[in-house]
């Protein structure tokens, strides 16, 4: 038996939510002193409203090692943990600590922690890959090797409607935000090989941004027909479907899935943001 544990930055597809082998471990969000759990109780629209009204912006806290220890418990003898990029959160280190704590007293499980070097549906696809490898009958070591290879080839892209949260978090000056908003400049961003963030391009207007993001993805992707592409959106399903159409104009993927963001992804992407992973 196996179990896949994904911190709550990674949204679970409906079929994963119905499968007890997949588990979300929640991060904690905070807006102006109010603590919000990123679990099934998360209210995206209410959170967006609170973030917009906040003068300081939201913060997040990674799951404690104890939360990961709770998730590790059970009958599964192979446990795979997928965390938000270690460049963006302490979730990876917390999961490693939990693994070491468990292994000090137990020898009944094999546990591996994957640094996704991504976020959101990037984590979801990694967890899904681990399950697919298990179902093919691969050994624990073979699964780890295959999934690490998958991570090294994965590409994450995103575009934001507003830069307000970045400004509030001190990552952008008021001047730059005002210029971007006034000129309707949208920046197409991507994850680096180490899981950090880099800018790929910038254009004026969201329509052009979606087209450019699809172009950037095509330039960096091979073997489309063998791959699944996933899009997560923050309160903008119509925009996500528009991006899906842009992708379909350019390539025939094995499957394209669209899903709404959970709390941590909502915090990073803000209202109207999109993340695309392949």
Q: What is the DSSP letter of 35?
A: E
What is the length of the chain? 278
pLDDT of the chain, 278 residues: tens digit per residue:
999 999 999 999 999 999 999 999 999 999 999 999 999 999 999 999 999 999 888 999 999 999 999 999 999 999 999 999 999 899 999 999 999 999 999 989 999 999 999 999 999 999 999 999 999 999 999 999 999 999 999 999 999 887 666 555 554 444 344 444 444 689 899 999 999 888 899 999 999 999 999 999 999 999 999 999 999 999 999 999 999 999 999 999 999 999 999 999 999 899 999 999 99
Sort 99 into a burial class: Cβ within 10 Å, 0-12 / 13-18 / 19+: buried
Nearest CA to 13 out of 3, 2, 24 is that of 24
Our separate counts of H helices and E strands in the chain read 11, 13
- Domain-by-domain residue ranges, the chain? 2-27+62-153, 156-277
> What is the secondary structure of 145-172 as a DSSP string?
HHHHHHHHH--EEEE-S--HHHHHTTSS
pLDDT the model gives residue 163: 63
Nearest CA to 44 out of 186, 234, 178, 189 is that of 234
Q: What is the DSSP letter of 138?
A: -
pLDDT the model gives residue 174: 46
Asked: is 2-27+62-153 a CATH 3.40.50.10440 domain? The reply is yes
Sort 1 into a burial class: Cβ within 10 Å, 0-12 / 13-18 / 19+: exposed
pLDDT the model gives residue 169: 55
**Rounded Cα gap, residues 51 and 264, in angstroms:** 12
pLDDT the model gives residue 29: 98
Q: What is the pTM of this model?
A: 0.93
Asked: is 156-277 a CATH 3.30.1180.10 domain? The reply is yes
**Rounded Cα gap, residues 35 and 33, in angstroms:** 6
Residue 54, sorted as left (phi over 0), alpha (psi -120 to 50) or beta, turns out to be: beta
**Rounded Cα gap, residues 265 and 262, in angstroms:** 6
Do the two domains 2-27+62-153 and 156-277 of this chain adopt the same fold?
A: no
Give the residues across from 62 on adjacent strands: none
Q: Is 121 helix (H, G, I), strand (E, B) or coil?
A: helix
Instruction: Quote the tokens at residue 104.
Output: 């000090």
Virtual CA dihedral for 82, 85, 86, 87, nearest 10 degrees? Answer: 180
Q: Is 211 helix (H, G, I), strand (E, B) or coil?
A: helix
């Amino acid at each position: 038996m196996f179990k896949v544990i994904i911190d709550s930055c990674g949204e679970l597809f409906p079929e994963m939510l119905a499968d007890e082998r997949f588990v979300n471990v929640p991060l904690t969000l905070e807006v102006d002193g109010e603590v919000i759990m990123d679990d099934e109780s998360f209210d995206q629209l209410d959170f967006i409203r609170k973030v917009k009204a906040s003068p300081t912006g939201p913060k997040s806290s990674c799951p404690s090692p104890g939360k990961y220890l709770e998730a590790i418990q059970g009958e599964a003898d192979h446990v795979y943990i997928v965390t938000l990029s270690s460049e963006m959160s302490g979730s990876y280190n917390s999961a490693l600590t939990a693994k070491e704590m468990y292994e000090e007293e137990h020898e009944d499980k094999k546990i591996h922690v994957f640094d996704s070097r991504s976020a959101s549906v990037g984590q979801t696809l990694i967890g899904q890959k681990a399950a697919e490898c298990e179902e093919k009958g691969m050994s624990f070591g073979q699964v780890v090797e295959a999934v690490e290879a998958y991570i090294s080839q994965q590409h994450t892209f995103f575009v934001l409607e507003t830069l307000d949260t970045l400004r509030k978090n001190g990552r952008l000056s008021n001047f730059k935000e005002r210029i971007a908003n006034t000129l309707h400049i949208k920046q197409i961003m991507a994850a680096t090989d180490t899981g950090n963030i880099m800018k790929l391009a910038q254009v004026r207007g969201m329509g052009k941004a979606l087209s450019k993001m699809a172009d950037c993805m095509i330039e960096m992707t091979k073997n489309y027909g063998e791959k699944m592409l996933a899009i997560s959106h923050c309160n903008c399903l119509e925009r996500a479907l528009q991006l899906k159409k842009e992708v379909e104009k350019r390539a025939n993927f094995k499957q394209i899935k669209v899903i709404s963001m959970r709390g941590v992804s909502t915090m990073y992407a803000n209202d109207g943001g999109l993340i695309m992973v392949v």
